[in-house]
Chain A
Amino acid sequence: MPFVARRLLAVAPTVLVVATVTFVALQIIPGDLAEIMLGVDARPEDLARLRRDLGLDRPLVLRYVEWLGHLARGDLGTSVSYREPVSRLIVARLPVTLSVAFSAMLIAVTLALPLGVVAARRAWSPMDLTVLAGSQVGLAIPTFWLGILLLLWLAAATPLFPLQGYVAFRTDPVQWLRHLFLPALALGAERAAALVRLVRAAVLDELHREYVRTARGKGLMDGEVLRRHVLRNALIPVITVAGLQLGYLMGGAIVIEQVFGLPGLGRLLLQGIYARDLLIVQGAVMTIALMFALLNLAVDLVYAAVDPRITYA
């Protein structure tokens, strides 16, 4: 079987395990949908009635099997708290989260790659130390705090960026960029801080290798050695980590979506947990798991493009 097909088949059980763990976890934590809906007004008779109306009084296993059955037919169910099909809720939100995650990654790579290379080429110079110190600070700052700072400095004080919200790319690309830039920057800065160390270490490692000396000995210019040889090799670990981080960024988006009022998957997941809306949580977690798995696969495929030694049969 071709590599891609095999990998895709392996994704299904992973996602199913994630869904099952989510299902069990939500049963273990106290509180159910009916209790959250009725809040402090709940009378025992109201609760019992609502639980019956919502089907929460049926056995757990039955509900799980039922959910699996629907899933097999591609139906994620209808959310009780939102009163909308879960798939519709997810489809509306996925572009937001993907936009944030990908632009954060773009910012992270754009910052980390040149800075990491410069730092490695002038290792232990004041420039390098500044980059390292900056990366330390970047890692230490929580993203939500950086997000709030950016909001106060750049959105509230200047007309450059809006405070809240999201505009779809299709509706207006410029507005899309305006709404996306600050959350992506807040999220990307932290990833850049992590990535820059990796780039520096990888480039530094390669610069000491014999083939670099050989290339120089053959009379190649430094810049050319770096571009054609060093970076190509140094990029492999960087791509691996960046690819995995893209998955983490989808998780990081939960926090940043809350700060910037972005209607993404993270916010949906959070609302689902607060409301104990099982179907929403299941759907959102599965989507994130699926994205994670697909990104991993994509990273593997990119290897082959970067390193001709790697092929997938």
Chain B
Amino acid sequence: MTGRTPRTPTASRWLWKATVLVLVGALAAAGPPAGAQAPRDRFVFALSGGPDTLDPHGTAATLSFMVMKSLYDTLVEPDDAGKLVPALAESWTVSPDGLAWTFKLRSGVRFHHGKGLDAGDVKATLERILDPATRSPRRLQIGPIRTVEVVDPLTVRIVLAERYAPILAALAEGWGAILPADLIARRHDFSTRPVGTGPFTLGEWQRDSFIRLQRFDGYWMSGLPRLREVVIRFVPERAVKIAGLLSGEFDAVDAIDPDDLPRARANPDVRIITQLTSLVNVIAINNSRGPLRDVRVRRALWHAVDRRQVLKTAYGPDSVTSAVFMDVTSPFWVDLGDPYPFDPDRARRLLSEAGYGSGLTLDLALPQPYQPHIDAGQLVQAMLARVGVTARTRVVEWGFWLSRVFGGGEYDLTIIGHTGKLDPEGRLVGWGDAARNYVRYENQKVSDLIHAGRITANPEHRRRIYAEALKLMTEDAMMVILGSPARYVGLRAPVREFRQVYAVDTYDFRKTVK
């Protein structure tokens, strides 16, 4: 059927080889070589995802604020201990009735477009957040602001309709970023052309790929930032993140998977920094459903689960257990020890006291794409099986979880992490009122205490009030608290002063050098 294939002349075969060689050479020579490190004043950071917008009043997404931290400033900001310290505001005072907050602004601060910061900018910014047309998801959380008054060019007064202790924390969150009044008036599009007072300006933003930030030479902190350029690459793929860190293409990578830690640690050019996050991970219990209405059943679940093992296996060996619904790093955290120690026998006894000695079947919803929660769910399922509780796991997509599980209460158990808030109000609002929290937990006393905390200005009093509320919540075993997971950030060896602001879950590149 076939004859001989005509022979390729030797010359053309050589030509082929030469072409391939030239092509490979050209690719390799096309700078900058992928494996080599970027220049010393250019910092490349790999983040799991990108911002949805660069308008600080248009989003509630953590990833967006991680980027916007470098573009904008707030009146106050949290220090490493979570304490609020001056930023654009030099100092502030509160009227005796707690309703009027007066901020003295720092002088000599400039926006990226050259305008100097004054009280009018603060007024315009807060009014922008409160304006329904802005559609800020944080419109209600900025607080019950009645008016914002310009006292003099560098003094601004915020008058509240009712006492609201969390106002200072609200102003320190990423969504409290101050924008220039002149551009607000001109309806400037901050979502793609951000203008703030931050340490960097926007160089280039390729959506879903990378963002390049350039040093703002007029930044108000003298000598800062030290880097000329920060490139944040959005890398969803775990294997790519770790490969880029090891090869040196990335100077730092966010949130390394615990399973990748041994590989990263084995490399002498890589350093891992471990930090507790401000998350609280929990096994949420639907308090309104059948057997789960019984506090004995809920306590049995605590005793049945080896919380320490779940936390360390699923979320990383450096995670820390906690028995209250507050992150371990918060000044409002209280140490209750281990109120319901891991004890399967006791769990079985409690279940049979409650009338479920012969077993119990519960639904366990696990949110996709959060693999650690799914891993934790599998461990929990096995532990519950040992005390006669059959957990039927179902993995659900995030949007589904938010709508049906979180919003609709269609679940018995679910595993989730609650992000950190600067002020305990942010975490605790609605708890104790079954209609306003997703575990349908009802306790009037807790609800009253949380309200008291909101209107109490004295920090020491507030701490005591919240401690009492947290204790009651754990006594009611309203959910099984696991604790705060650790976050692993990988750095190339020369990187210094890489700061994580764990209290607001963001990164600060102002002092970073490499």
Q: Does A11 contact B (CB under 8 A)?
A: no
Q: Which of A24-40 contact B (CB under 8 A)?
A: 29-32, 34-40
Q: Which of A159-214 contact B (CB under 8 A)?
A: 159-166, 174-175, 177-178, 181, 207
Of all chain B residues, the one with the shortest Cβ separation from A80 is B135
When the two chains form the complex, which single residue of B140, B246, B406, B436 contacts A156, counting CB atoms closer than 8 Å? B246
Q: Does A46 contact B (CB under 8 A)?
A: yes
A258 close to B236 (CB less than 8 A) = yes
B239 close to A151 (CB less than 8 A) = yes
Interfacial chain B residues near A32, Cβ < 8 Å: 403
Interfacial chain A residues near B398, Cβ < 8 Å: 31, 36, 274
Q: How far is the CA of A29 from the CA of B404 in the complex (A)?
A: 10
B34 close to A160 (CB less than 8 A) = yes
Interface-lining segment among B11-19, B207-215, B334-342:
B207-215
B237 close to A35 (CB less than 8 A) = no
Majority SS at the chain B contact face: loop
Q: A42-B407, A165-B209 are in contact. Are A276 and B35 (CB under 8 A)?
A: no
Contacts between the two chains (Cβ within 8 Å), count: 183
Interfacial chain B residues near A181, Cβ < 8 Å: 27
Give a binary string over B381-416; 1 marks a CB under 8 Å from any A CB, 0 the rest: 000000000000000011110111011100000001
When the two chains form the complex, which single residue of B33, B53, B234, B418 contacts A82, counting CB atoms closer than 8 Å? B53
28 A–B pairs (Cβ distance < 8 Å), ordered by A: A29-B400, A31-B397, A35-B406, A35-B407, A38-B60, A39-B61, A40-B419, A42-B407, A43-B430, A46-B139, A47-B407, A49-B139, A50-B135, A53-B132, A53-B139, A83-B55, A84-B191, A93-B207, A148-B239, A151-B239, A151-B243, A160-B34, A163-B34, A163-B243, A164-B244, A177-B27, A258-B236, A259-B237
Q: How far is the CA of A82 from the CA of B51 in the complex (A)?
A: 9
Give a binary string over A49-93; 1 marks a CB under 8 Å from any B CB, 0 the rest: 110011000000000000000000000000011111000010011
Interface residue range, chain A: 35 or more
Q: Does B316 contact A (CB under 8 A)?
A: no
B403 close to A122 (CB less than 8 A) = no
12 further A-B pairs in the complex, CB-CB below 8 A; given A30-B400, A46-B140, A271-B208 = A35-B399, A39-B60, A47-B407, A50-B137, A82-B53, A121-B1, A159-B33, A163-B247, A165-B233, A207-B1, A258-B236, A261-B209
Interfacial chain B residues near A258, Cβ < 8 Å: 236-237
What is the interface of chain A, defined by CB distance below 8 A to chain B? Answer: 29-32, 34-47, 49-50, 53-54, 80-84, 89, 92-93, 118, 121-123, 148, 151-152, 155-166, 174-175, 177-178, 181, 207, 221-223, 258-259, 261-263, 267-268, 271, 274-276
Q: How far is the CA of A175 from the CA of B429 in the complex (A)?
A: 51
Interfacial chain B residues near A178, Cβ < 8 Å: 27, 30
Q: How far is the CA of A177 from the CA of B23 in the complex (A)?
A: 11
Interfacial chain A residues near B52, Cβ < 8 Å: 81-83, 275
A31 close to B400 (CB less than 8 A) = yes
Of all chain B residues, the one with the shortest Cβ separation from A43 is B430
Q: Which 9 A-B pairs have the closest CB atoms?
A: A31-B399, A156-B243, A159-B33, A30-B403, A83-B191, A31-B403, A263-B209, A222-B3, A263-B208
A164 close to B240 (CB less than 8 A) = yes
Of all chain B residues, the one with the shortest Cβ separation from A155 is B34
Give a binary string over B1-33; 1 marks a CB under 8 Å from any A CB, 0 the rest: 111111000000000000000001011101001
Interfacial chain B residues near A221, Cβ < 8 Å: 3, 6
A161 close to B209 (CB less than 8 A) = no
Interfacial chain A residues near B258, Cβ < 8 Å: none
Q: How far is the CA of A30 from the CA of B409 in the complex (A)?
A: 13
Q: Does B485 contact A (CB under 8 A)?
A: no
B233 close to A164 (CB less than 8 A) = yes
Q: Does B141 contact A (CB under 8 A)?
A: yes
Q: How far is the CA of A207 from the CA of B3 in the complex (A)?
A: 12
Q: Does B249 contact A (CB under 8 A)?
A: yes
Interfacial chain B residues near A53, Cβ < 8 Å: 132, 135, 139
Interfacial chain A residues near B234, Cβ < 8 Å: 261
Chain B nearest CB: distance from A87 CB in Å? 14
Of all chain B residues, the one with the shortest Cβ separation from A35 is B402
Q: How far is the CA of A262 from the CA of B1 in the complex (A)?
A: 47
Q: Does B85 contact A (CB under 8 A)?
A: no
Q: How far is the CA of A157 from the CA of B248 in the complex (A)?
A: 11
Interfacial chain B residues near A118, Cβ < 8 Å: 5
B34 close to A159 (CB less than 8 A) = yes
Chain A nearest CB: distance from B51 CB in Å? 10
Q: Does B206 contact A (CB under 8 A)?
A: yes
Chain B nearest CB: distance from A229 CB in Å? 15
Q: How far is the CA of A50 from the CA of B239 in the complex (A)?
A: 37
What is the interface of chain B, defined by CB distance below 8 A to chain A? Answer: 1-6, 24, 26-28, 30, 33-36, 52-53, 55, 58-61, 132, 135, 137, 139-141, 189, 191-192, 206-210, 233-237, 239-240, 243-244, 246-247, 249, 397-400, 402-404, 406-408, 416, 418-419, 426, 429-430, 435-436
Q: How far is the CA of A249 from the CA of B402 in the complex (A)?
A: 32
Interfacial chain A residues near B408, Cβ < 8 Å: 30
Interfacial chain B residues near A158, Cβ < 8 Å: 28, 34-35
Interfacial chain B residues near A156, Cβ < 8 Å: 35, 243-244, 246-247, 249
Q: How far is the CA of A82 from the CA of B50 in the complex (A)?
A: 11
A274 close to B243 (CB less than 8 A) = no
B406 close to A262 (CB less than 8 A) = no
When the two chains form the complex, which single residue of B27, B399, B426 contacts A276, counting CB atoms closer than 8 Å? B399
Interfacial chain A residues near B141, Cβ < 8 Å: 46
When the two chains form the complex, which single residue of B1, B235, B416 contacts A164, counting CB atoms closer than 8 Å? B235
When the two chains form the complex, which single residue of B206, B243, B406 contacts A152, counting CB atoms closer than 8 Å? B243
Interfacial chain B residues near A41, Cβ < 8 Å: 60, 419, 426
A159 close to B28 (CB less than 8 A) = yes
Q: How far is the CA of A122 from the CA of B408 in the complex (A)?
A: 64
When the two chains form the complex, which single residue of B34, B58, B209, B435 contacts A262, counting CB atoms closer than 8 Å? B209
When the two chains form the complex, which single residue of A29, A43, A155 contacts B243, counting CB atoms closer than 8 Å? A155
Interfacial chain A residues near B206, Cβ < 8 Å: 165-166, 263
Q: How far is the CA of A141 from the CA of B26 in the complex (A)?
A: 30
Of all chain B residues, the one with the shortest Cβ separation from A271 is B208
B36 close to A159 (CB less than 8 A) = yes
Chain B nearest CB: distance from A58 CB in Å? 15
A268 close to B208 (CB less than 8 A) = yes
Of all chain A residues, the one with the shortest Cβ separation from B135 is A53
Q: How far is the CA of A46 from the CA of B403 in the complex (A)?
A: 14
B135 close to A54 (CB less than 8 A) = yes
A165 close to B210 (CB less than 8 A) = yes
Of all chain A residues, the one with the shortest Cβ separation from B249 is A163
A157 close to B429 (CB less than 8 A) = no
B60 close to A37 (CB less than 8 A) = yes
When the two chains form the complex, which single residue of B2, B36, B58, B243 contacts A122, counting CB atoms closer than 8 Å? B2
Q: How far is the CA of A29 from the CA of B396 in the complex (A)?
A: 12
